[in-house]
Amino acid sequence: MTLAKRIVPCLDVDHGKVVKGINFLQLKHAGDPVEMAKRYSDEGADELVFLDITASHEKRDIMRQYVEGVAKAISIPFTVGGGIRNVSDARLVLCSGADKVSVNTAAIEKPNVITELADVFGRQCVVIAIDAKRNHTLTDGKIMTETAEGKVWFEVNTYGGRKPTGIDAVAWAMQAEKLGAGEFLVTSMDKDGTEDGYDIELTRAISERVNVPVIASGGAGIPKHLLDVFTDGKADAALAASIFHYNKYPVPVVKDYLRKMGVTIRQ
C-alpha cells in the first residue's frame, strides 16, 4: 500500500487572524491565515486544519472571507472547524472553498447532524472532532484500555474541552462512523499543549475500531512523536501546531525524518 501518512499543521483563527505561532514567519501581515496557509502548502504540508474560535455575530462573514482567500491561494485540501452546528454552517464553509468541515460539540448534542451532513455533502466532507480525556475510574460499560498508568477509559469533553460528558470516546467514534462520519480528528486533552507526545493508546483505541481515517492531535513536540503515533498509534494523519509554528521543526524537517524512519511520506 502506498497511501502516504499525512502531516497536518493546524491554525487557530480568531476574528480572521491566526492567533498562535505567528512569531517566526516574518510575514508582511503577521497572522494572515491566507499567507500562513500558502507558506505551509509551499513547505509540503499535506493538508491544513483551521479551527475558528471567533465568538461574534459576524463570525459567518469573517469565515467566508478568509476561507475563500485560502481556497484561492492553495491547492491542497483543508478542513474548517469551530462552531459548525448544522448543514447551513457547513454549506457556508464548503461553498467558500473548504474541502471538509469538522464538527465537535454539535455532533455530541445532536448526533443526527452527522447523517444530515453526510447525506448532503458526502461523508468524505464530514470530520468528527473528539476531545478526549483519560478517566481512571473503573466504570461498567466503558471500553477500558491498558496504559502505563493502569486501565483507563477515554471520556469525551465538549465546549472546547471544558465540559465532561460521561460519554466513552471510543464507543462514540464507532457510533459516529455508523451515522456517516468520514474521518476522525482525535485530540487528547491530557496531552494537548504538553509537547510530550501524542496519546498513543487513545489514538490506537479509536483507529483500530473504525474503518475511516484518524487524525491524531495533541502533544507533538518533536518529530519522534509523529513517528510513534503513526507506528504504535496507527494514526493515518498527525496534526500539530506549535512544533511547526515556532519553526522548531519545519514541515520539511519532520517529513525527512519520518521518511528516513521508513514511514511512507509524500515527496
Partner 1 sequence: MANAVIFDYGVGNLLSLKTALEKAGLTATIGTTAQDLAKADAIALPGVGSFTASLERLDKVKDILQTKVAEGTPLLGICLGMQLFFESSEEGPGSGLAFFKGTVKQLPSTVKVPHMGWNTLNITRPNELFEGIAEGTYVYFVHSLYPAPIDPEIVVTKTEYGTTFTSAVAQKNIYGTQFHPEKSGDIGLAILKNFAKIVVR
By the rule CB under 8 A, 88 interacts with partner 1 = no
* Closest to 87 (Cα-Cα) out of 69, 103, 72: 103
52 tagged catalytic: no
The mark string for 28-67 relative to partner 1 (x by CB under 8 A, - otherwise) is -------------x----xx--------------------
Q: Which is nearer to partner 1, 56 or 264 (CB)?
A: 264
Question: Of 24, 58, 61, 72, which one interacts with partner 1 (CB under 8 A)?
Answer: 72
12 tagged catalytic: yes
Question: Of 98, 173, 205, 254, which one interacts with partner 1 (CB under 8 A)?
Answer: 98
Please list the residues that pair with 110 across neighbouring strands: none
Rounded-to-integer distance, Cα 233 and Cα 250, Å: 22
* Closest to 251 (Cα-Cα) out of 216, 259, 79, 12: 259
The mark string for 114-153 relative to partner 1 (x by CB under 8 A, - otherwise) is ------xxxxxx----------------------------
By the rule CB under 8 A, 99 interacts with partner 1 = yes
Q: Give 50's contacts (C-beta < 8 A, 6+ positions apart).
A: 10, 11, 13, 33, 67, 70, 78, 79, 80, 81, 82, 98
Map the footprint of partner 1 across residues 210-229, applying CB under 8 A: 210-213
Q: Where are the beta strands (DSSP E) in 76-213?
A: 78-81, 100-103, 126-135, 145-147, 150-158, 163-168, 183-188
Q: Which is nearer to partner 1, 2 or 88 (CB)?
A: 2
* Closest to 195 (Cα-Cα) out of 21, 65, 42, 19: 21
The mark string for 175-214 relative to partner 1 (x by CB under 8 A, - otherwise) is -------xx--------------------------xxxx-
**Min. distance of Cβ 70 from partner 1 in angstroms?**
10
Q: Could you give the dihedral angle defined by the CA atoms of residues 110, 106, 217 and 237, in that order, rounded to the nearest 10 degrees?
A: 70
Catalytic entry in 12, 46, 192, 236: 12
Positions marked catalytic: 12, 131
> Which positions lie near partner 1, rule CB under 8 A?
1-6, 41, 46-47, 68, 71-72, 75-77, 94-99, 120-125, 182-183, 210-213, 236-237, 266-267
